[in-house]
Chain A
Protein backbone atom coordinates (compact mmCIF):
# COMPACT_ATOMS: atom_id res chain seq x y z
CA UNK A 1 0.00 0.00 0.00
CA UNK A 2 1.60 3.25 -1.20
CA UNK A 3 -0.82 5.53 0.62
CA UNK A 4 -2.53 6.60 -2.62
CA UNK A 5 -6.07 5.25 -2.94
CA UNK A 6 -8.41 5.11 -5.91
CA UNK A 7 -12.09 4.37 -6.13
CA UNK A 8 -13.62 2.35 -7.65
CA UNK A 9 -11.09 -0.35 -8.45
CA UNK A 10 -13.18 -1.67 -11.31
CA UNK A 11 -15.90 -0.07 -13.40
CA UNK A 12 -17.96 -1.65 -16.15
CA UNK A 13 -20.19 0.69 -18.09
CA UNK A 14 -22.10 0.85 -21.32
CA UNK A 15 -20.99 3.02 -24.19
CA UNK A 16 -22.37 6.53 -23.91
CA UNK A 17 -22.55 6.58 -20.11
CA UNK A 18 -20.57 8.98 -17.92
CA UNK A 19 -18.12 7.70 -15.32
CA UNK A 20 -16.23 9.40 -12.50
CA UNK A 21 -13.16 8.15 -10.70
CA UNK A 22 -11.67 9.41 -7.46
CA UNK A 23 -8.08 9.59 -6.25
CA UNK A 24 -6.91 10.36 -2.74
CA UNK A 25 -3.19 11.18 -2.77
CA UNK A 26 -0.66 11.10 0.03
CA UNK A 27 -1.57 14.15 2.07
CA UNK A 28 1.75 15.98 1.98
CA UNK A 29 2.21 15.48 -1.77
CA UNK A 30 1.67 18.65 -3.77
CA UNK A 31 1.41 17.16 -7.24
CA UNK A 32 -1.21 14.75 -8.51
CA UNK A 33 -1.09 13.03 -11.89
CA UNK A 34 -3.60 11.06 -13.91
CA UNK A 35 -2.45 8.45 -16.41
CA UNK A 36 -4.11 5.92 -18.66
CA UNK A 37 -2.48 2.57 -19.35
CA UNK A 38 -3.41 -0.07 -21.90
CA UNK A 39 -1.87 -3.48 -22.33
CA UNK A 40 1.70 -3.41 -23.54
CA UNK A 41 2.10 0.33 -23.11
CA UNK A 42 3.60 2.50 -20.43
CA UNK A 43 1.34 4.89 -18.54
CA UNK A 44 0.16 7.71 -20.82
CA UNK A 45 0.01 11.14 -19.23
CA UNK A 46 -3.46 12.71 -19.08
CA UNK A 47 -3.20 15.69 -16.75
CA UNK A 48 -1.63 16.93 -13.56
CA UNK A 49 -2.31 19.30 -10.69
CA UNK A 50 -0.04 21.32 -8.50
CA UNK A 51 -2.15 21.74 -5.37
CA UNK A 52 -5.59 22.75 -6.76
CA UNK A 53 -4.33 24.19 -10.05
CA UNK A 54 -4.53 22.05 -13.17
CA UNK A 55 -1.24 22.91 -14.85
CA UNK A 56 -1.22 20.73 -17.91
CA UNK A 57 -3.56 18.57 -19.91
CA UNK A 58 -2.47 16.19 -22.63
CA UNK A 59 -3.22 17.35 -26.16
CA UNK A 60 -4.35 13.79 -26.85
CA UNK A 61 -7.13 14.14 -24.31
CA UNK A 62 -10.53 14.77 -25.78
CA UNK A 63 -13.04 17.25 -24.37
CA UNK A 64 -14.96 14.32 -22.93
CA UNK A 65 -12.34 14.07 -20.19
CA UNK A 66 -12.28 16.50 -17.30
CA UNK A 67 -10.45 16.48 -14.01
CA UNK A 68 -10.75 18.50 -10.83
CA UNK A 69 -8.86 18.79 -7.59
CA UNK A 70 -10.93 20.99 -5.30
CA UNK A 71 -9.05 22.36 -2.31
CA UNK A 72 -5.89 20.65 -3.49
CA UNK A 73 -6.74 17.36 -1.82
CA UNK A 74 -8.52 14.50 -3.60
CA UNK A 75 -9.06 14.56 -7.35
CA UNK A 76 -11.77 13.32 -9.67
CA UNK A 77 -11.53 12.29 -13.31
CA UNK A 78 -14.75 12.26 -15.30
CA UNK A 79 -15.25 10.72 -18.70
CA UNK A 80 -18.42 11.74 -20.49
CA UNK A 81 -20.13 9.71 -23.21
CA UNK A 82 -17.72 6.81 -22.83
CA UNK A 83 -16.48 4.96 -25.88
CA UNK A 84 -15.05 1.46 -26.15
CA UNK A 85 -11.62 2.98 -26.79
CA UNK A 86 -11.72 4.45 -23.29
CA UNK A 87 -11.33 0.98 -21.81
CA UNK A 88 -8.05 1.04 -19.91
CA UNK A 89 -6.49 1.20 -16.47
CA UNK A 90 -6.67 4.73 -15.07
CA UNK A 91 -3.82 5.42 -12.70
CA UNK A 92 -3.38 8.23 -10.24
CA UNK A 93 0.01 9.13 -8.82
CA UNK A 94 1.04 11.68 -6.27
CA UNK A 95 4.43 13.28 -6.08
CA UNK A 96 6.21 15.34 -3.49
CA UNK A 97 8.07 17.76 -5.68
CA UNK A 98 11.05 18.72 -3.59
CA UNK A 99 11.93 22.41 -3.72
CA UNK A 100 15.59 21.53 -3.52
CA UNK A 101 16.83 19.48 -6.47
CA UNK A 102 19.16 17.61 -4.14
CA UNK A 103 16.22 16.17 -2.27
CA UNK A 104 14.09 13.37 -3.52
CA UNK A 105 11.14 13.70 -5.87
CA UNK A 106 9.11 10.67 -4.94
CA UNK A 107 6.11 9.57 -6.96
CA UNK A 108 3.75 6.83 -5.85
CA UNK A 109 0.88 5.23 -7.72
CA UNK A 110 -2.53 4.23 -6.52
CA UNK A 111 -3.88 0.77 -7.38
CA UNK A 112 -5.70 2.07 -10.44
CA UNK A 113 -9.28 1.92 -11.70
CA UNK A 114 -9.88 -0.57 -14.48
CA UNK A 115 -12.56 0.72 -16.83
CA UNK A 116 -14.36 -1.57 -19.24
CA UNK A 117 -16.73 0.04 -21.73
CA UNK A 118 -19.13 -2.42 -23.32
Chain B
Protein backbone atom coordinates (compact mmCIF):
# COMPACT_ATOMS: atom_id res chain seq x y z
CA UNK B 1 0.00 0.00 0.00
CA UNK B 2 1.43 3.38 -1.05
CA UNK B 3 2.00 5.78 1.81
CA UNK B 4 2.80 9.49 2.13
CA UNK B 5 3.60 11.09 5.49
CA UNK B 6 3.95 14.82 6.01
CA UNK B 7 5.49 16.64 8.94
CA UNK B 8 4.90 18.66 10.93
CA UNK B 9 1.12 18.37 11.03
CA UNK B 10 0.87 22.06 11.82
CA UNK B 11 3.15 25.03 12.14
CA UNK B 12 2.67 28.57 13.42
CA UNK B 13 5.23 31.21 12.46
CA UNK B 14 5.49 34.99 12.18
CA UNK B 15 5.76 36.97 8.99
CA UNK B 16 9.29 36.97 7.68
CA UNK B 17 10.19 33.56 9.08
CA UNK B 18 11.46 30.72 6.89
CA UNK B 19 9.72 27.35 7.08
CA UNK B 20 10.58 23.86 5.90
CA UNK B 21 7.87 21.29 5.32
CA UNK B 22 8.67 17.60 4.98
CA UNK B 23 7.20 14.79 2.94
CA UNK B 24 8.29 11.16 3.05
CA UNK B 25 6.87 8.37 0.93
CA UNK B 26 6.71 4.68 0.18
CA UNK B 27 5.33 4.02 -3.28
CA UNK B 28 5.53 1.38 -5.95
CA UNK B 29 7.07 2.49 -9.25
CA UNK B 30 7.64 6.12 -8.29
CA UNK B 31 7.09 8.58 -11.12
CA UNK B 32 6.82 12.01 -9.54
CA UNK B 33 6.13 13.96 -6.36
CA UNK B 34 3.73 16.88 -6.38
CA UNK B 35 3.26 19.75 -3.94
CA UNK B 36 -0.03 21.61 -3.60
CA UNK B 37 -1.36 24.56 -1.62
CA UNK B 38 -4.91 24.30 -0.34
CA UNK B 39 -6.88 27.18 1.08
CA UNK B 40 -10.64 27.05 1.47
CA UNK B 41 -11.07 25.38 -1.90
CA UNK B 42 -9.52 22.66 -4.09
CA UNK B 43 -5.73 22.20 -4.04
CA UNK B 44 -3.67 24.34 -6.38
CA UNK B 45 -0.58 22.91 -8.02
CA UNK B 46 2.83 24.22 -6.90
CA UNK B 47 5.62 21.90 -8.02
CA UNK B 48 6.31 18.60 -9.69
CA UNK B 49 9.57 16.80 -8.92
CA UNK B 50 11.00 13.74 -10.62
CA UNK B 51 14.76 13.95 -10.25
CA UNK B 52 16.80 13.92 -7.07
CA UNK B 53 18.79 16.98 -6.14
CA UNK B 54 17.27 19.39 -8.64
CA UNK B 55 15.66 22.34 -6.88
CA UNK B 56 12.47 23.80 -8.26
CA UNK B 57 11.83 27.46 -7.42
CA UNK B 58 8.90 29.78 -7.71
CA UNK B 59 9.36 33.12 -5.99
CA UNK B 60 9.78 32.50 -2.28
CA UNK B 61 8.91 28.81 -2.57
CA UNK B 62 11.35 26.08 -3.45
CA UNK B 63 11.35 22.31 -3.30
CA UNK B 64 13.77 19.46 -3.73
CA UNK B 65 13.48 15.68 -3.93
CA UNK B 66 15.77 13.09 -2.37
CA UNK B 67 15.02 9.73 -3.96
CA UNK B 68 17.58 7.95 -1.82
CA UNK B 69 15.84 9.11 1.35
CA UNK B 70 12.37 8.84 -0.25
CA UNK B 71 11.56 12.35 0.81
CA UNK B 72 11.05 15.91 -0.29
CA UNK B 73 11.09 19.30 1.38
CA UNK B 74 9.20 22.47 0.59
CA UNK B 75 10.81 25.70 1.73
CA UNK B 76 9.07 29.03 2.06
CA UNK B 77 11.25 32.04 2.79
CA UNK B 78 10.11 35.45 4.09
CA UNK B 79 6.66 34.08 4.88
CA UNK B 80 3.59 36.27 4.48
CA UNK B 81 0.10 35.94 5.94
CA UNK B 82 -1.10 34.93 2.48
CA UNK B 83 1.03 31.79 2.76
CA UNK B 84 -1.31 30.49 5.46
CA UNK B 85 -2.80 27.30 4.02
CA UNK B 86 -2.58 23.54 4.05
CA UNK B 87 0.35 22.26 2.03
CA UNK B 88 -0.21 18.84 0.52
CA UNK B 89 2.31 16.39 -0.87
CA UNK B 90 1.28 13.70 -3.33
CA UNK B 91 3.22 10.94 -5.00
CA UNK B 92 2.36 9.59 -8.45
CA UNK B 93 3.16 5.92 -8.85
CA UNK B 94 2.41 3.54 -11.65
CA UNK B 95 -1.26 4.11 -11.04
CA UNK B 96 -2.93 6.37 -8.56
CA UNK B 97 -1.52 9.41 -6.85
CA UNK B 98 -1.44 9.18 -3.06
CA UNK B 99 -1.73 12.23 -0.82
CA UNK B 100 -0.44 12.95 2.65
CA UNK B 101 -2.71 14.61 5.19
CA UNK B 102 -0.95 17.92 4.77
CA UNK B 103 0.85 20.47 6.90
CA UNK B 104 -1.27 23.36 8.15
CA UNK B 105 0.80 26.53 8.07
CA UNK B 106 -0.37 29.62 9.93
CA UNK B 107 1.59 32.82 9.42
CA UNK B 108 0.88 35.52 12.02
CA UNK B 109 1.41 39.22 11.29
Contacts and interface: CB of A to CB of B under 8 A. Distances in A.
Interface of A: 2, 33, 35, 40-45, 48, 55-56, 58, 89, 91, 93, 95, 97, 101-102, 104-112
Interface stretch (B13-21, B43-51, B59-67): B43-51
A55 B95 contact: yes
A56 B96 contact: yes
A101 B43 CA distance: 23
A102 to B, nearest CB: 7
B88 to A, nearest CB: 5
A105 B31 contact: yes
A95 B99 CA distance: 15
Given A42-B88, A43-B99, A95-B92, A109 B43 contact: yes
Contacts of A40: 101
The winner among A35, A42, A89, A105 for most chain B CB atoms within 10 A is A42
B96 A48 contact: yes
Judged by DSSP, the binding face of B is strand
Given A56-B95, A95-B92, A42 B100 contact: yes
Interface string B87-109: 01010100111111110000000
B50 A45 contact: no
Given A56-B96, A91-B42, A105 B48 contact: yes
A95 B42 contact: no
A33 B96 contact: yes
A91 B99 CA distance: 13
Contact of A102 (B6, B50, B97, B101): B50
A109 B44 contact: yes
A92 B34 CA distance: 16
A95 to B, nearest CB: 7
B14 to A, nearest CB: 24
